A and B are shown apart, each in its own frame.
Chain A
């Protein structure tokens, strides 16, 4: 790609960016959110058609103009976007071959479809059943299907945008092995990631983008993490995880014997007799692979899981009933859900409409709303959490991921929670925004909040938590204290190899 520029209303997203990938290499593309990585890849993938940007795209040295995604695919380019493009009602096999189903006289050959999908799934070492509707899978597994779908197109150039954001470490390993094999076969791979560990492990070259411009392209061997971070943020990041000393007080919340059944598969337990407790001023980390039941546990505690079979809950020592999220909120629980677009935000409503939603009756009176009081509360939250937007009336869907996440956090803080559950609070947001979330977590814990932090990123759990609960296949595998936990020991417990 040569001299690519792209302007969106109000922003110059890309400014004279050049980028190339060779056959048989993995070229990592890094940069903060909003640096222009995804935009660049949407141009390569034909999402933004030729003519909507300046500059040119060359494949095998010949200039190409893509009018749409199909043109790009025909040229051997496959892009796996951050957003899933799966049909939830279709099976895994149908999704993988969507639009290219094996057919004879226009009739889909279903047995061939499933046998080919099975072969393909085996080849990728995925433990998936091709007949399973995609909607029943966890988000991590859905991402693996999405990646499988792109790989099934025999692309010569593969672009992966944050492929491991939703994957657990083991699933990530599977992916890395696949990528190694593809590279050996001569494919050119563009790898976009926030996780620098992966970048250093996988890539041959690294390009850093910042504010729509190329900062540098270097051999990976010639770089190290601090230098890349410095180039990404344009400043030195001395420490990603601010370390603090905490003094946990009395137990604020306790859950006993939480058991959750899969609503779609009767008899299958997603969470099996898990108990947890968290103290005031303490951060309890919850680690585990995708599918270990972390989110199901959170949803069940919050009264939002249709498959909950059992569970007792105590706030400040006294038992409470939670049959609906409103009960949980009433008892002083707050729940920053994973997948903010699906569970957290009203994307087409304003920031203030989102922020005040869960605490509307407290803020605004029981029946009649007080717009001015809401606006004032919204502006205060925006300032406190440093949400970057023109005003509280900006539509939430137009914000960057990091700011959206802060809006969800702000919504829950306004309910004055005693216990705050955070499910993957930093997924898909850039390092700067992550750090701000970490700072907030530390501030809230210091103010005496009890915090339960679910995260797929081990370093995050290890550095922020006072104790770590590890789940494995729906059961509590073990509980570590901060000083005893290492990446290896937590991982061992999460994969069922605990001592």
Chain B
């Protein structure tokens, strides 16, 4: 064992790893590994998409990035919901089929007007999610079985309702949902608001810690905590504005992710989901009504599937009865690559977003390189298994 390895292995507690003189929480170290993996993937695609037209590469070009993020927005929204369910030690295999059903019904109800059409998709998502959730929570049927049944059933329902035909989106605003760009100036305003929020959160959390007599972050750590996200927000806004503006679906994804992150980290509901997933017996004996929270998690996932179905249908411009096929696997893969444990109790929204971004980058990059479909599947599968494999190795060394 080299000296450095040994230093890394000497973890004063499981939650931390020592690298040199830095003590880094293991979860953060893991996140950094994934960030480096993402950067490596990006650099590789940038390097291999050089051409006469784009001497520095096409991949990171604002137009392509906007495309990539639009593609990611559907998977990302699904992944936030999926995370809630997986953290509670459940699974949902039916989200792709529900997405197809909700999108199809939204397209069919266009005649009633825009608002009823959008609401019907949301309603389908919530009702189906709540129905499956109640079967899991109150009838004690394993979620794998309930949602495997759902995967078939809901696909069948939309095939029946649509008679197998693809329905075009006629309402212009519906279409815009998947493709609209924010005006550059409103993008700048949003970025400004985001930056103010980042600073306000950092300061208020510090103030709260001081009030309870807890150690306060050093000014250097504070600066890093404020500057890094602000720079990212600025670069993102600038790059998106460069190609016309921030795409609306990306804004929706960011809003969903922010809400999901708040829900998991800062609410009793979120904490209870982790507790239920970590040890259902202990959670129950601590007075947590697990059934109610599991039902709520599935219902929330359903609502997010509703949103995702609108984004997807709007972007594609039509609702085909096989829309959303295999999307449940993308959502699960995003969570897992982002460090979510299928055994429950562990996982973060930011991790799942990172996972979704990695998957979307692979999709997009390989399409740019015109990699064959067959090869794309193989590579994505290998990346999924490898990401979890590295995670397990890291974890074994930490314990």
Which residues of A pack against B, CB within 8 Å? Answer: 9-10, 302, 304, 324-326, 328-330, 335, 337, 342-350, 353, 357-358, 360-361, 364-373, 375-376, 379, 389-391, 393-395, 397-398, 411
Q: Are A337 and B267 within 8 A (Cβ)? A: no
| Nearest residue, chain A, Cβ from B281 | A343
Q: Are A346 and B275 within 8 A (Cβ)? A: yes
Q: Which of B7-15, B90-98, B229-237 contacts A (4 or more CB under 8 A)?
A: B7-15
How many angstroms from the CA of A225 to the CA of B281 in the assembled complex? 39
Known contacts A343-B282, A373-B212, A398-B13; A349 and B287 CB within 8 A of each other = no
Q: Which of B189-197, B203-211, B244-252, B372-380 contacts A (4 or more CB under 8 A)?
A: B203-211
How many angstroms from the CA of A189 to the CA of B286 in the assembled complex? 41
Known contacts A360-B268, A364-B268; A349 and B345 CB within 8 A of each other = yes
| Nearest residue, chain B, Cβ from A11 | B10
How many angstroms from the CA of A379 to the CA of B282 in the assembled complex? 22
How many angstroms from the CA of A371 to the CA of B208 in the assembled complex? 9
Contact of A360 among B12, B205, B271, B278 (CB under 8 A): B271
Q: How close is A216's CB to chain B, nearest CB, in angstroms?
A: 31
| Nearest residue, chain B, Cβ from A339 | B281
Closest 6 CB pairs of A and B: A376-B212, A326-B287, A346-B278, A372-B208, A358-B286, A329-B287
Q: Are A371 and B266 within 8 A (Cβ)? A: yes
How many angstroms from the CA of A369 to the CA of B268 in the assembled complex? 6
Which residues of B pack against A, CB within 8 Å? Answer: 9-15, 205, 208-209, 211-214, 265-272, 274-275, 278-279, 281-289, 345-346
Q: Are A393 and B15 within 8 A (Cβ)? A: yes
Q: Are A375 and B214 within 8 A (Cβ)? A: yes
5 CB contacts below 8 A, A to B, read A326-B288, A348-B278, A367-B269, A379-B214, A391-B13
How many angstroms from the CA of A371 to the CA of B267 in the assembled complex? 10
Q: Are A370 and B267 within 8 A (Cβ)? A: no
| Nearest residue, chain B, Cβ from A356 | B271
Interface residue SS majority, chain B: helix
How many angstroms from the CA of A324 to the CA of B292 in the assembled complex? 13
Question: Which residue among A9, A348, A373, A376 has the maximum number of chain B CB atoms within 10 Å of its CB?
Answer: A9
Q: Are B282 and A324 within 8 A (Cβ)? A: no
How many angstroms from the CA of A151 to the CA of B275 in the assembled complex? 39
Write out the residue numbers on chain B whose beta carbons fall within 8 Å of the beta carbon of A347.
278-279
Write out the residue numbers on chain A whose beta carbons fall within 8 Å of the beta carbon of B275.
346, 349, 353, 357
| Nearest residue, chain A, Cβ from B204 | A372
Write out the residue numbers on chain A whose beta carbons fall within 8 Å of the beta carbon of B265.
369
| Nearest residue, chain A, Cβ from B23 | A390
Q: Are A9 and B11 within 8 A (Cβ)? A: yes
How many angstroms from the CA of A349 to the CA of B272 in the assembled complex? 12
Q: Are A10 and B12 within 8 A (Cβ)? A: yes
Write out the residue numbers on chain B whose beta carbons fall within 8 Å of the beta carbon of A302.
285
Known contacts A368-B266, A372-B209; A345 and B279 CB within 8 A of each other = yes
Task: Knowing that A304-B284, A324-B287 touch, tell me 5 more A-B residue pairs with CB under 8 angstroms.
Answer: A326-B289, A348-B346, A371-B205, A394-B14, A398-B14
